Amino acid sequence: MTGTDLPGELSAVSDQLAAAGGRSSAAVLKSYDDHLMRTFGPPKRVFVRGEGCYVWDADGRRHLDLLSGLAVNALGHAHPTVLSAITGQIATLGHVSNFFATPSQVALAERLDRMVTGGDAGARVFFANSGTEVNEAAFKITRLTGRTKIISTEGAFHGRSLGSLALTASEKYRKPFEPLPGDVEFIPYGDVAALEAAVDDRTAAVVLEPIQGENGVVEPPDGYLAAAREITSAAGALLWIDEIQTGMGRTGYWLESQRSGVVGDIVTVAKGLGNGFPIGACIATGPAADLLGPGSHGSTFGGNPVACIAGLAVISVIERDNLLTNVTEQGARLADAITAVDHPLIDHVRGRGLLRGVVLRKDRAQQITDAALDAGFIINAPRPNVLRIAPPLIITADQIDSFVQALPGFLDQGARA
């Protein structure tokens, strides 16, 4: 089964709609090359259908998705609860603009307030459609503190807009797009002394990922977030925690910062929140919650009822099915099993829960990722010497074992390639 065919009534609407289905992989890739901007490099597969932790390509081959659309498909593909929440909402009311409120929007805001603050600190939420956009909102909040300086870290990734690029240290990404919004200083990640030295009474905010996902799943030393909390509070600066990749249960906590008992003044989440339906949330507590006022920010689609019901459905299923426990258990199983693989290419495994990096002794991550894909396993290579594994939170022990058993073969193939 290839699953590329659309329902007959859609195909009857127009040739273009019919053309969205029923094409071979080669035809889709040819059209992609002709019509899409080359921001991502040539795609490696054409996928047409997903269910649980598996996706099928246009040639009918099944793949175990150990990347979750980049930490997005927390409940896997075509989850029945998310599906019925989204289809029920869109069939009832799909969009109304931000002149008006909807019940699903306020229900999700209440739930995110409870997630971040425990419910008693009175957080406020700004909804948008992606991680970058909620980081943009957070950036604008910091500008309204009366201070402008932002401290970011080397290796950080906060998105691709000009604002979020200004928070990214990499010269390679920044240079072509300068001038970027200014007054951003970069310090080494995980270094408390550098934080202490950099933060002063001119600092508006410190922005941090609890684990640097794009940088190759880099963890800070124990106590780093707690120190950042103390240092920012003492200087009257905001602590802005970017949980876009680490949040929504990915590491076994709703938010990875909760492992350290730290609450940010601003917390941004996105990726896993909508299980693939685009949504992000900027959650602010304390005085930071009241800085954006009428006219200072906005979004046409942000907070629409379909995206918000998707977020509520995801959170409800994580709760109902005790998935945080599954993340902790399967994450430990994955890390222990890979650590036990005796192979000269593996140096060590890092990360938490179901956000793991396998650090290699040689720059072979892309070749190994390609070998895994050929065998029907999706992982990626955020750095030349790091494999990233971020499966759906519903992954089972058997599925993890099937990957780990096959891994030495991929390592051998990658070493030879």
Ligand X SMILES: *Cc1c(COP(=O)(O)O)cnc(C)c1O
Q: Which residues bind ligand X (CB under 6 A)?
A: 130-132, 135, 157-159, 209, 213-214, 242, 244-245, 270-271
Phi–psi pair at 389, nearest 5 degrees? -125, 120
Helix H or strand E encompassing 15? helix 15-19
299 appears as a binding residue in the annotation:
yes
CB atoms within 10 A of CB 146: 8
Nearest distance from C-beta of residue 330 to ligand X, angstroms:
21
Q: In one letter, which amino acid is 323?
A: L
What is the number of the residue whose Cβ is closest to ligand X?
Answer: 131
SS3 105: helix
DSSP code of residue 64:
E
SS3 376: coil
242 appears as a binding residue in the annotation:
yes
Beta strands in 245-314 (DSSP E): 266-269, 280-284
| Residue number with CB closer to ligand X (250 or 364) | 250
| Residue number with CB closer to ligand X (299 or 413) | 299
Nearest distance from C-beta of residue 401 to ligand X, angstroms:
28
132 appears as a binding residue in the annotation:
yes
243 appears as a binding residue in the annotation:
yes
| Residue number with CB closer to ligand X (40 or 99) | 40
Dist. CA 187–CA 306, nearest whole Å? 39
Dist. CA 399–CA 302, nearest whole Å? 36
Phi–psi pair at 218, nearest 5 degrees? -95, 125
Nearest distance from C-beta of residue 271 to ligand X, angstroms:
6
Nearest distance from C-beta of residue 243 to ligand X, angstroms:
8
Nearest distance from C-beta of residue 354 to ligand X, angstroms:
14
| Residue number with CB closer to ligand X (272 or 305) | 272
Nearest distance from C-beta of residue 42 to ligand X, angstroms:
20
**DSSP line for 157-200:** ---SSHHHHTT---HHHHGGG-S----EEEE-TT-HHHHHHH--
244 appears as a binding residue in the annotation:
yes
Contacts of 25 (CB under 8 A, 6+ apart): 45, 46, 57, 58, 59
Helix H or strand E encompassing 84? helix 80-92
Greatest distance between any 2 Cα atoms in the chain = 66
133 appears as a binding residue in the annotation:
no
| Residue number with CB closer to ligand X (199 or 270) | 270
Nearest distance from C-beta of residue 327 to ligand X, angstroms:
17
Nearest distance from C-beta of residue 275 to ligand X, angstroms:
14
4 appears as a binding residue in the annotation:
no
Identify whether the C-beta of residue 266 lies closer than 8 Å to the C-beta of residue 205: yes
65 appears as a binding residue in the annotation:
no
Q: Tell me the torsion sign for CA atoms 225, 336, 274, 372.
A: positive
Identify whether the C-beta of residue 212 lies closer than 8 Å to the C-beta of residue 225: no
Angle made by CA atoms 93, 94, 96, in degrees to the nearest 5: 85
| Residue number with CB closer to ligand X (283 or 411) | 283
| Residue number with CB closer to ligand X (231 or 248) | 248
Chain position carrying tokens 């969205």: 20
Nearest distance from C-beta of residue 47 to ligand X, angstroms:
19
| Residue number with CB closer to ligand X (57 or 209) | 209
Neighbour order of strands in the sheet with 124-128: 124-128, 280-284, 266-269, 238-242, 203-208, 149-153, 184-187
| Residue number with CB closer to ligand X (371 or 386) | 386
Instruction: Indicate the annotated binding residues.
Output: 131-132, 157, 160, 242-245, 299-300
Instruction: Indicate the annotated binding residues for pyridoxal 5'-phosphate.
Output: 131-132, 157, 242-245, 300
Instruction: Indicate the annotated binding residues for N(2)-acetyl-L-ornithine.
Output: 160, 299
